[in-house]
Amino acid sequence: MLASGSPLADALTRLEPLIRRLEAGEPVSEPLQALLERLLWMTGLPAPQDFSEVREVLEDLRREPCTVRLDRLRQALEALPAQGPTASAQANALLDLASSAVQGERVEEYSVQVLALDSEIAALATRFAALELPGPSERFCEAAREGAAQLQNARAGLAGLDEAVAAGSQADLLTCSQDLVFALNRAAQLHRELERLLALEGRTPCIRCGCSNPSERTLCEHCGAILPAAAIHPEGMLDFRVGEEGASGQTRMTENLARLFEACDQFYAGTLDPQAFLQVVSWLEGLLEQARRLGLGDGVEEFEGGLLLLRQAGELEDRALLDAGRRRVWEGAGRLQASG
């Protein structure tokens, strides 16, 4: 289902009132056609999913706008597995803004989004580079090197996109956008391949830098971060009672902890804003309160103290507090798992 907040979902929300106003006789044909052109632009870029049905409905809407066709468009969009031509919400938002910025509209928003995507690509490139460290198989290292190269291509595509917008060149915009989308999608594909190879080779990826570590290590050999001791387990609540005990009483990574730590990484890299980061912290604070009512004991205070540090990091926009907060959360989780 199409994610709310994606450029395609936002455009759909804007289309409906315009079409209703047009049917009521208001002169809104020009902004309506401009919006349809933006949707055709987004769905015309190379993507893993098939946008042909969406584009067919968009063409029908362009010829004859009406609410019946709008319902067909909504159904076609909701059937899509992703929110745009790439798996990156930052990239999809940028591509949407670029189609307006090349015409001199929404330029300031576009400039902000360029910086956000550049930070995201830089953070991903750091992770791919860490994965190239000696240890895994040659196939693994080869995939990591190609992933890093694709991210370099993505940065080149982003720079070209910026130049095309500054020059007002639609042709260059299309070429650079296609390059950017291909590079990001290929990097995402390689990342999935690396995760598969990690599982096969029994190695543990660092949640901070991405470095592939031997399974017996508890700290990352590249950056020193605490490593999960096993694969993610999808149990409910705080995801602390994880069934069989981990080796040597080590803390085990769970879905909820992984979500929190991913938010920490994104906030540190500047790809997640403080408000969104604090929403993730608040969500886990709510789960902690549920755990309290169910009588979980040892480790709750440490976990709560870690969440408090993370909340301060978000409120003060102080990334230096992230490591301390995450470490306390991890230690608290280990005690909770041991007492569960």
Higher pLDDT, 252 or 101: 101
Q: Which pLDDT score is estimated for 148? A: 87
How many other C-beta atoms lie within 10 A of the C-beta of residue 234? 9
Distance in angstroms (rounded) separating the CA atoms of residues 264 and 329 = 12
H/E segment holding residue 167 = helix 138-167
Q: Which pLDDT score is estimated for 339? A: 62
- What is the percent of the chain with per-residue pLDDT over 90, rounded to a whole number? 11
The model's pLDDT over 262-280, given as tens digits with 9 standing for 90+, comes to: 888 888 777 888 888 888 8
The model's pLDDT over 299-314, given as tens digits with 9 standing for 90+, comes to: 677 788 888 889 888 8
Residue 88 confidence (pLDDT) above 50: yes
Q: Which pLDDT score is estimated for 169? A: 92
The strand pairing partners of 254, in sequence order, are 233
H/E segment holding residue 18 = helix 7-23
Q: Which pLDDT score is estimated for 232? A: 38
How many other C-beta atoms lie within 10 A of the C-beta of residue 164? 21
Residue 31 backbone phi and psi in degrees, to 5: -65, -30
Q: Which pLDDT score is estimated for 158? A: 93
- What is the widest separation between alpha-carbon atoms in the chain? 73
Q: What is the DSSP string of 207-242?
A: TTT--EEETT-SB-TTT-PBPPSS--B--STTS---
Q: Which two tokens stand for residue 98?
A: 């670029």
User: Residue 48 half-sphere exposure, CB side, CA atoms within 13 Å?
Assistant: 15
How many other C-beta atoms lie within 10 A of the C-beta of residue 1? 10
Q: What is the DSSP string of 79-119?
A: T-SSSSSSS-HHHHHHHHHHHHHTTTSSHHHHHHHHHHHHH
Q: Which two tokens stand for residue 268?
A: 């540190």
Residue 4 confidence (pLDDT) above 50: no
User: Which of 117, 93, 123 has its CA nearest to residue 106?
Assistant: 93
Domains of the chain, residue spans: 7-78, 89-204, 228-339
Q: What is the DSSP string of 279-305?
A: HHHHHHHHHHHHHHHTT--TTHHHHHH
Residue 222 backbone phi and psi in degrees, to 5: -95, -45
Q: Which pLDDT score is estimated for 165? A: 92
Q: Which residues contact 179 (CB under 8 A, 6 or more apart)?
A: 153, 156, 157, 160
Confidence label for 172 from pLDDT (cuts 50, 70 and 90):
very high
Lowest-pLDDT range, 204-218, 231-245, 250-264? 231-245
Residue 7 confidence (pLDDT) above 90: no
Q: Which two tokens stand for residue 39?
A: 């949707």
Across 308-324, average pLDDT: 82
Q: Which two tokens stand for residue 234?
A: 């999808």
Asked: is 89-204 a CATH 1.10.3470 domain? The reply is no
Q: Which pLDDT score is estimated for 236? A: 34
8 Å CB contact between 231 and 253: yes
Residue 164 confidence (pLDDT) above 90: yes
Residue 296 confidence (pLDDT) above 60: no
* Predicted TM-score of the model (pTM): 0.57
The model's pLDDT over 113-137, given as tens digits with 9 standing for 90+, comes to: 888 888 888 877 877 776 655 555 7
